[in-house]
DNA sequence: TAAAAAAAGTGATCAATATCATTTTTATCA
DNA sequence: TGATAAAAATGATATTGATCACTTTTTTTA
């Protein structure tokens, strides 16, 4: 087996050299950088299997490193571990939402370090394993004719990428670079109103494509996609999609269907927002979740429900309580179970 | 010049024979049917230039004849004149909205009959003339490469069809048979809520395509398209579109763009419906109309405005009155003029 | 051009739901 | 596990915009 490559980015010489020593002893091939900029360069040129990175650094701090590596399709799937002093822990949450996979609090001992690296590499392996298994399912979805075969090939050759709960996959207004195929997990797309309230424009699950509209129309993303739970995603770059579209009409057809469906759903949603009561909109949102998850039980925050139905969170709470009293649903914390699907669907107001 | 062909459908022998006699004397080639069914057959087989049709008839009444001929792409562009007894005038309005071009009240004299036919044929000629002139404009829109050239050819070979104000072009739930290219006029698409209120999902003007989503996804129309004013439309049948899609990726691309745009607009509308105040939604609707018509002044009913913004007509009246007081708009009857575009666009609530 | 019909506008009232403030429950972390 | 933070629920209140009933204006038709 070839030695795994580790990149350490850390400005403190003592710590950095110490880490290099330990890792080399443990049999890893180690690259080291003493600031963020050099670190990013090393990452891009050497494609390490895992990256350790300090937060407070001159030139480019750890957040910046993570941000840059995430933007790059060649490096965004590499596991990323932050090294942090206790004081910096406050804003670590944001970092985790940006896509960091783990963090180590300084000072850490040898075993802590080695365990963290090993377990993260193992998780990554499991993930890739899972991805290649998922490809069979996807292969079945994409029927067998020529053009779609090409699409399948591209998907199977791409690396998957894990997005953590609440991590943003793309932002509204970002230049569209990828179509995202959701292998496993749940993702919402939202639009932000001027006053900061958000409206959920879509909710996606296994085998759904995200960002199709922006890529195919050559525009920026028109909404923000956020993982509702840890989600495994395959990124299909625009420049790989485009030649397929001109060559294989079947692929265009496939995407046209996705878009057309999207329009139908959005029109339905429009009608609901315009004229349905809050009760009815709540019911519709619950049914949509049930359909999406293919399960009577699901976990969702009141905030997300509010964004789905376009109402206030307090009103969501009240309406859900009413529904529970009427034995339409059951709820325990953030887990909601639909008890009477038929009656929920027939709700008049 | 070849004699124009006239079809008369009338169960009363005296009237029918009299009409045949007059028309033949006037130099028309005349076909006659004594009931609706035979009339429809004759129309389909002989492609008359104009059809005269009684309303009250055995077998199939005049409305049924009009309905059937409208459904048929070969006959739906033929001018259609109703012959009606005074008593039947009450429900004639519906007939006109179904697409009848004129009506004659029985009894009518020779000159009335001949004038009606002649003026209708002349109008039809003018319309076709206008259509072929419009084709240049459309040719410029559709750029020059191969596939789009094919599309252009199809459009230029198709007959145009005139829809009258308030006439329905297609209904929500109808099997999608055509893409409609709006040559001239204004069309709205609406969805009907269970309680009968309608929400405008789109508004279309010159050079816009209608029904694309249904045709490309092979589904039924997801909304109802109605002419807001007399509108000239080119019908492009599904079976002519489909081979183009598989052959020419440029055409798929063209339609993909249309769909993607549609999604963007609908998402924007969703956000507005969800969180914007009535004032703001009214402002957005007015701006949308201004953009659409490319003119600060436009004619629109309070009812349509209500359907656009998803609010009650009375509230539309009130809000417009407020806007007028604030010198944002001017209004005279159903004609609204935007006075302060910038301030309307910046409206906060 | 007058009469009739339709559309638009207005006032009063009411219901739905947002908002604010607070309490209770659930989830997270050392 | 207990402490702390976050999420959910609840109560009181305010506001928006729908609805109903009616008047006025505009448009259509004979």
Q: In this complex, do B263 and A263 lie within 8 Å of one another by their Cβ atoms?
A: yes
Lowest mean pLDDT among A133-147, A319-333, B183-197, B280-294: A133-147
Cβ separation of B266 and A267 shorter than 8 Å? yes
CA angle A288, A262, A276 (to 5 degrees): 50
Positions 276-295 in A, CB within 7 angstroms of strand C: 277-279
**pLDDT value of position B287:** 94
pLDDT over 80 (residue A91): no
3-class secondary structure per residue, chain B: CCCCEEEEECCCHHHHHHHHHHHHHCCCEEEEECCHHHHHHHHHHHCCCEEEEECCCCCCCHHHHHHHHHHCCCCCCCCEEEEEEHHHHHHHHHHHHHCCCEEEEECCCHHHHHHHHHHHHHHHHHHHHHHHHHHHHHHHHCCCCHHHHHHHHHHHHCCEEEECCCCEEECCCCECCEEEEEEECCEEEEEECCCCCEEEEEEECCCCEECHHHHHHCCECCCEEEECCCEEEEEEEHHHHHHHHHHCHHHHHHHHHHHHHHHHHHHHHHHHHHHCCHHHHHHHHHHHHHHHHCCCEEECCHHHHHHHHCCCHHHHHHHHHHHHHCCCEEEECCEEEECCHHHHHHCCC
What pLDDT band is residue B344 in, cutting at 50, 70 and 90?
Answer: very high
A211's enclosing H/E stretch is none
Chain D footprint positions (protein CB, under 7 Å): 7-12, 16-21, 25-27, 29-30
- The answer on pLDDT for B292 being more than 60 is yes
Residues A234/A206, Cβ–Cβ less than 8 Å: no
Measured CA to CA, the distance from residue A56 to residue A61 in angstroms comes to 6
Amino acid A324 CA to nucleotide D6 C1' distance, rounded Å: 23
Query: Distance, angstroms, CA B281 to C1' D28?
Result: 31
Within residues 300-339 of protein chain B, the ones with CB less than 7 A from nucleic strand C are 301-303, 313-314, 316-318, 320-321, 331, 333-334
- Nearest Cα residue to B305 out of B200, B228, B205, B184: B200
For residues A24 and A244, give the distance between their C-alpha atoms in angstroms, rounded to a whole number.
Answer: 45
The residue count of chain B comes to 349
Selecting from B252, B259, B270 the residue whose C-beta is nearest the C-beta of A273 gives: B270
The secondary structure element, H or E, covering residue A293 is helix A278-293
Task: Give the dihedral sign, CA A131/A136/A140/A142.
Answer: positive
pTM: 0.80
Beta bridge partners of A9: A33, A53
pLDDT at position B235 over 90: no
In this complex, do A249 and B253 lie within 8 Å of one another by their Cβ atoms?
A: no
Report the distance separating Cα B53 and Cα B65, nearest Å.
Answer: 8
Burial of B188 (0-12, 13-18, 19+ CB in 10 A): buried
User: Quick one: pLDDT at residue A234?
Assistant: 87
User: What is the tens place of the pLDDT at every residue in B35-83?
Assistant: 999 999 999 999 999 999 988 888 888 888 988 888 887 888 888 888 8
Lowest-confidence region among A8-17, B149-158, B206-215: B149-158
A270 in contact with nucleic chain C (CB within 7 A)? no
Q: Which of residues 54-93 of A touch strand C (CB under 7 A)?
A: 89, 93
Answer for the pair A167, A80: CB distance below 8 angstroms, yes or no: no
B197/A261 touch (CB, cutoff 8 Å), yes or no:
no
pLDDT value at B318 more than 80: yes
Q: How far apart are CA A173 and CA A184, in angstroms?
A: 25
C1' (C17) to CA (A260) span, angstroms: 33
Q: A250: nearest CA in chain B?
A: B246
For chain A, list residues whose CB is within 8 angstroms of any CB belonging to chain B: 191, 193, 195, 197, 199, 201, 213-214, 216-217, 219, 222-223, 245-247, 249, 252-253, 255-257, 259-264, 266-271, 273-276, 310
Q: Is the pLDDT of residue A16 over 80?
A: yes
pLDDT at B249: 80
| Inter-chain touch A273–B310, beta carbons under 8 Å | yes
**Interchain proximity A270–B274, CB inside 8 Å:** no
Q: What pLDDT is recorded for position A148? A: 64
Q: d(Cα A90, Cα A281) in Å, to the nearest integer? A: 38
Name the CA dihedral angle for B41, B46, B50, B56, rounded to a multiple of 10 degrees.
Answer: -20
Query: Which pLDDT value is given to residue A87?
Result: 59
Per-residue pLDDT tens digits for B106-150: 778 888 888 888 888 887 887 777 777 776 666 666 655 556 667
Phi, psi (deg, nearest 5) at residue A144: -90, -5
User: Is residue A234 helix, strand or coil?
Assistant: strand
Beta bridge partner(s), residue A236: A179
Contact residues for A38 (Cβ-Cβ < 8 A; gap 6+): A9
- Contact (CB, 8 A) for B138 and B181: yes
Least CB-CB distance to B270: which of A197, A270, A275? Answer: A270
Q: Residue B228, CB, less than 7 Å from strand C?
A: no
Q: What is the DSSP secondary-structure string of A64-124?
A: HHHHHHHH-TTTTTS-EEEEEEGGGGGGHHHHHHHT--EEEEES--HHHHHHHHHHHHHHH
Of the candidates B229, B274, B205, B200, the one whose C-alpha atom is nearest the C-alpha of residue A312 is: B274
Spell out the residues 6+ positions from residue B334 whose beta carbon is closer than 8 angstroms to its own. Answer: B299, B300, B301, B302
Residue A186 has pLDDT above 60, yes or no: yes
What's the pLDDT band for A309 if we cut at 50, 70, 90?
very high
Strand runs labelled E in A186-334:
187-192, 198-204, 209-210, 224-227, 231-237, 297-299, 329-332
State the DSSP code for A213: H
Q: Tell me whether residues A274 and B270 touch, CB distance under 8 A.
A: no
pLDDT value for A140 = 65
Q: Which residues pair with A52 in a beta bridge?
A: A8, A81
Name the closest nucleotide to B318, judged by C1' and CA: C9
Is-contact A106 A15, C-beta < 8 A? yes
In SS3 terms, A23-45 reads as: HHHCCCEEEEECCHHHHHHHHHH
**Mean local confidence (pLDDT), B235-245:** 85
CA distance A330 to B211: 42
- Match 């953590």 to its residue by tokens: A164
Q: Do A263 and B264 touch (CB under 8 A)?
A: no
Count A/B contacts: CB-CB distance under 8 Å: 128
Predicted pLDDT at B145: 54
Strands A168-170 and A297-299: unpaired
Determine, for residues A256 and B259 on separate chains, whether the beta-carbon distance falls below 8 Å.
yes
pLDDT cut 70: percent of chain B above it = 92
| Whole-number distance in Å between B314 CA and D27 C1' | 19
Q: CA B36 to CA A19: how far, in whole Å?
A: 93
B151 has a pLDDT exceeding 80? no
CA dist A337 and A286 (Å) reads: 9
Res B199 pLDDT > 70: yes
CB atoms within 10 A of CB B237: 14
Which pLDDT band, with edges at 50, 70 and 90, does A324 fall under?
very high
How many Å lie between the alpha carbon of B136 and the closest alpha carbon of chain A? 26
**Six-digit token string for A330:** 């059951």
What crossing angle do the helices spanning A278-293 and A313-325 adopt, rounded to 10°? 80
């Amino acid at each position: 087996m070839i030695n795994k490559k580790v990149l350490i980015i850390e400005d403190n010489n003592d710590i950095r050299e110490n880490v290099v020593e330990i890792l080399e002893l443990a049999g890893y091939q180690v690259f080291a950088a003493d600031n963020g900029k050099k670190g990013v360069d090393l990452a891009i040129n050497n494609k390490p299997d895992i990256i350790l990175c300090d937060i407070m650094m001159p030139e480019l701090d750890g957040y910046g490193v993570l941000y840059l590596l995430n933007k790059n399709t060649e490096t965004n799937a590499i596991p990323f571990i932050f090294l942090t002093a206790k004081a910096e822990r406050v804003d670590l949450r944001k970092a985790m939402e940006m896509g960091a996979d783990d963090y180590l609090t300084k000072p850490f001992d040898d075993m802590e370090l080695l365990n963290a690296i090993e377990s993260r590499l193992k998780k990554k392996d499991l993930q890739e394993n899972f991805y290649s298994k998922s490809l069979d399912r996807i292969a079945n979805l994409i029927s067998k004719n020529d053009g779609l075969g090409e699409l399948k090939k591209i998907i199977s050759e791409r690396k998957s990428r894990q997005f953590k709960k609440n991590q943003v996959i793309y932002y509204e207004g970002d230049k569209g670079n990828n179509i995202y195929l959701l292998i496993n997990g749940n993702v919402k797309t939202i639009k932000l109103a001027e006053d900061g309230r958000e409206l959920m424009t879509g909710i996606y699950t296994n085998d759904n494509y995200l960002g199709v509209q922006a890529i195919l129309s050559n525009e920026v993303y028109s909404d923000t996609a956020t993982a509702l739970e840890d989600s495994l995603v395959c990124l299909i770059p625009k420049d790989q999609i485009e030649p397929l579209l001109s060559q294989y009409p079947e692929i265009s057809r496939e995407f046209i269907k996705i878009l057309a469906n999207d329009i139908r759903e959005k029109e339905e949603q429009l009608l609901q927002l315009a004229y349905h009561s809050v009760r009815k909109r709540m019911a519709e949102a619950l049914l949509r979740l049930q359909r999406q998850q293919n399960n009577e039980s699901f976990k969702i925050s009141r905030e997300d429900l509010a964004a789905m139905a376009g109402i206030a969170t307090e009103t969501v709470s009240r309406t859900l309580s009413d529904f529970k009293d009427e034995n339409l649903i059951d709820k325990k914390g953030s887990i909601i179970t639909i008890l009477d699907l038929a009656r929920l669907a027939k709700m008049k107001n």
